[in-house]
A and B are shown apart, each in its own frame.
Chain A
Amino acid sequence: MSPEHATLRRSNFEQFDEEKRVVAHPDGTLSADANWHGSVSGDECRAMIVIPAVVLVLAVLLATALVANLLRRRRWLAWGMGLGACALVIAVLVGLAGGPLRTSLLSLDPSIEVAILGRVLALTPTNQPALIMLSLAALIVIGFAPAAGPANNFYSLGLGILALLATSLMVQPLPYAAFAWQASATVAVFLIQGDRAGERSGQAALRYLAAFTFTLPLLLLAGWLSDQARSLVPEAAQLAQAYNAPAALIAAAMLLLMGAVPLYSWLHLVARDAAPPVTALLATLVSGTVAFLWLSLWEANDWLRDSALASGILRFSGIALLVISMLTAWAQPSFARWLGSALFAEAGTSLLLMQPRSPLEVEAQVLGVLSRALALALFAAGLHRLRQQCGSTRFDALSCRPDSWTLVTLAISGLSLAGVPATSGFVWRWLLARGLGESELMLLVALSSASLIGGLVRGLSAALGARPSAVVDASEAVSDGLNSKTDWSPRLLAAGAMLSCALGVVPTPLIELAAAIARGYTFYP
């Protein structure tokens, strides 16, 4: 009996219109005819248990989140589990890059797709590196989190959000990623409010939830409209016009997700009201996922690349965010609000890279995700220490001079967020300048950075000018490990600051990694 061939047709975006052959073997097993991962023969399937890699990745993250939630009061254990889960996911995904992983009993196959409610979860050559980078960014933020005093549920909810955002990158057709986004937003509500019950972060959580809720209709309608445009419009000349609406809807959805809508952004509210590590985690993971989701869409849909409207919306929003950051960063009254301006600048710069025409721009986007993770994780730790020691992050209300570790951490991570040379934040801006090649835009980026540096210098001057006698709440200090004999957070912060500077001075390994990911895309002219 010869193998029968079944055909799986996917709809919505063009990426999923390819027809993929699924080979049905006489023994009843199925193997995908994927040409990039190879295939498993029927005999091999019989001898071992085949696990879809998609299932393993999600199961590791979700199961660890569950256990970490049960053990949330043992913070060090939860922290170790968070780090372990991210590291395991990275190791598995890196191992799968060369094809299925096999032992005598188990086989981990990346080519097997999992169908849920008519949608498909799959690992592809484009989302696999994205998942690695996202997990790496989460690893960095979680790694430095103990120094930032997170709430008990930080690790479990953080892993849950990572799992849902990973799902959004793996789901096909891509518009249905909106459901995973929405689910991640509901989890984020609990995280944003996590350690601030009774304070104002309810407003930030509500804005975050509302922004993500708006993206659901936009993405689903965009998927339907693109299908309609392809199937109903016969004239090639009219086709470009018909694709304008879905392209604009997708661009608007990306802006809402990134918090890049100037008058309706979740970025500054979360930066102001949520705990620092929460801000770091959400800003890092969400901006990273949006960047990679956009690259996937850009790779798969030539109508999106041809849409002047979508490019115009993103470019205009990027410029608007940089202008807002330039005008406001230097005048911010507190470190927490300065962080909001820095996030605006990061989002604006990232948006300028969302019409990539060369590998350099993709490399800059990829490096931006990692650099942002490191800088935000360190800044969050600095903010936490400042609040613990001085009772406030307001420049005019610092009741004491913070210790030198806090100042150094705030300075180096702040300068990295501003993109100053010899920090990791400079590397991706340098690649941006080379890839973009537009002097006016680079001037805007430089002015925004200058404004951020001005605000940071004001804050650091205020901290240095404060009374040197430190007034620290002893009970909090002991419970958090600050200033105690066993406190090793200064060492952690020192390592982070040195890492940031080292990556700024010797960025070659990171650039090679980013270049390898950029080579995976084929949309360059």
Chain B
Amino acid sequence: MRPRVAEFRELLSQVSQVLILPLLLGLLATALLVSVVRNWRIVLPTMVVNYAVVGLMLARVIDPLISLSRIGTGAVAIVVLSVAAQRADDMRAARGESVARERLAHPQWRRLASQLLLRAMVALFAFGAAFGAASRFPLPGEARELGLAAYVLLAVSLLLIATAPEALNVGVGLLMLFSGFELAYLPLEPSIGVGVLMALVTLLSGLAIAYLVQLDVAVGDQPASAATAWDAFEQPDVS
């Protein structure tokens, strides 16, 4: 049994060494998609792919089995988010509002083009900043590709946190921040303890974000006359 584990570990390590360019391109593609699209039915599966790419890249510098467990943790966090997003969609559907599946089936092309174009341009600016930072301030460690990947993820995560209004997309930004930081930090301190703690905070944060995703929908229950339910709470009771 043990030789098989060793072989698998060796295989993962070699895959991460040989396929570094495709992995880097995959990471750029997934980061671009997440920063451009706001529909959770596209964003969350993309995040799972992103976690897989990050995990394989990390296999270059840490124990490949630990990097595999990292992929698993990320995937679990995304599943939790998916359940919350689906429940939020169900609540929207009960109120007769548009939901993610309908928006995918019947896209509003005229509005979509301008939104996508603007987000794509901003994302490209963020990529440019990440490339500049990677060449100007290279992260310590031997694997420079990991430094570039870390900068890209950090730039996209900051972009999402700063610009997305919905809890789900801000949450995805926070999870991406963890991934980017892991790519930068785990090569410097490749210990199991840090890997486990990072996985733990990713799971906890995923839970908290899932809770907040459902609140986004509950806000829709407030009176239409007030900007928010809190504002309504602060209005005088004219009755």
Q: Which residues of A contact B (CB under 8 A)?
A: 117-119, 176, 179, 182-183, 185-186, 189-190, 193, 196-202, 205-206, 209-210, 213-214, 216-217, 220-221, 224, 228, 272-273, 334, 336, 387, 391-394, 396-397, 399, 471
Known A-B contacts A117-B192, A189-B208, A198-B229; the reply to A391 vs B215 at CB < 8 A is no
The 8 Å CB contact of A179, one of B177, B192, B197, B218, is: B197
Residues of chain B within 8 A of A201, CB atoms compared = 230
CB distance from B40 to the nearest CB of A (A): 16
Known A-B contacts A190-B208, A193-B211; the reply to A200 vs B229 at CB < 8 A is yes
CA distance A214 to B218 in the complex (A): 27
CA distance A496 to B193 in the complex (A): 45
Contact of A199 with B233 in the complex, beta carbons under 8 Å: yes
12 contacts between A and B (CB under 8 A): A118-B192, A179-B201, A182-B204, A189-B212, A190-B211, A193-B211, A199-B230, A200-B229, A206-B170, A209-B208, A221-B184, A336-B234
CB distance from A38 to the nearest CB of B (A): 31
CB distance from A167 to the nearest CB of B (A): 12
The 8 Å CB contact of A198, one of B174, B200, B218, B234, is: B218
CA distance A205 to B237 in the complex (A): 27
Residues of chain B within 8 A of A197, CB atoms compared = 215, 218
Is the contact region of chain B dominated by helix, strand, or loop, or is it mixed? helix
CA distance A308 to B140 in the complex (A): 25
Contact of B230 with A200 in the complex, beta carbons under 8 Å: yes
Residues of chain B within 8 A of A117, CB atoms compared = 192-193, 196-197
Known A-B contacts A210-B174, A217-B181; the reply to A399 vs B218 at CB < 8 A is no
CA distance A213 to B200 in the complex (A): 13
Contact of B236 with A179 in the complex, beta carbons under 8 Å: no
CB distance from A264 to the nearest CB of B (A): 9
Interface size on B, residues (CB 8 A): 43
CB distance from A401 to the nearest CB of B (A): 14
Question: Does residue B221 face the partner (Cβ distance < 8 Å to A)?
Answer: yes
CB distance from A339 to the nearest CB of B (A): 14
Question: Does residue B207 face the partner (Cβ distance < 8 Å to A)?
Answer: yes
Contact of A198 with B189 in the complex, beta carbons under 8 Å: no
Residues of chain B within 8 A of A224, CB atoms compared = 185, 188-189
Question: Does residue B167 face the partner (Cβ distance < 8 Å to A)?
Answer: yes
Question: Does residue B219 face the partner (Cβ distance < 8 Å to A)?
Answer: yes
Residues of chain A within 8 A of B222, CB atoms compared = 198-199
Contact of A189 with B211 in the complex, beta carbons under 8 Å: yes
Contact residues of B between 192 and 231, Cβ < 8 Å to A: 192-194, 196-197, 200-201, 204-205, 207-209, 211-212, 215-216, 218-219, 221-222, 228-231
Residues of chain B within 8 A of A397, CB atoms compared = 234-236
Residues of chain B within 8 A of A205, CB atoms compared = 208, 212, 215
The 8 Å CB contact of A199, one of B167, B205, B208, B219, is: B219
CA distance A193 to B219 in the complex (A): 12
Contact residues of B between 111 and 157, Cβ < 8 Å to A: 140
Contact of A216 with B201 in the complex, beta carbons under 8 Å: yes
Q: Which 8 A-B pairs have the closest CB atoms?
A: A117-B193, A118-B193, A202-B215, A198-B218, A397-B236, A189-B208, A186-B208, A199-B229
Question: Does residue B69 face the partner (Cβ distance < 8 Å to A)?
Answer: no
Residues of chain B within 8 A of A186, CB atoms compared = 201, 204-205, 207-208
Contact of A118 with B207 in the complex, beta carbons under 8 Å: no
Contact of A217 with B230 in the complex, beta carbons under 8 Å: no
CA distance A199 to B192 in the complex (A): 41
Contact of B234 with A394 in the complex, beta carbons under 8 Å: yes
Contact of A392 with B189 in the complex, beta carbons under 8 Å: no
Chain A residue at smallest Cβ distance from B230: A200
The 8 Å CB contact of B236, one of A189, A206, A399, is: A399
Contact of B228 with A199 in the complex, beta carbons under 8 Å: yes
Kindly list 8 other residue pairs between chains A and B, CB separation below 8 angstroms, not including A199-B233, A206-B167: A179-B197, A189-B211, A200-B231, A217-B185, A224-B185, A392-B234, A394-B234, A396-B236
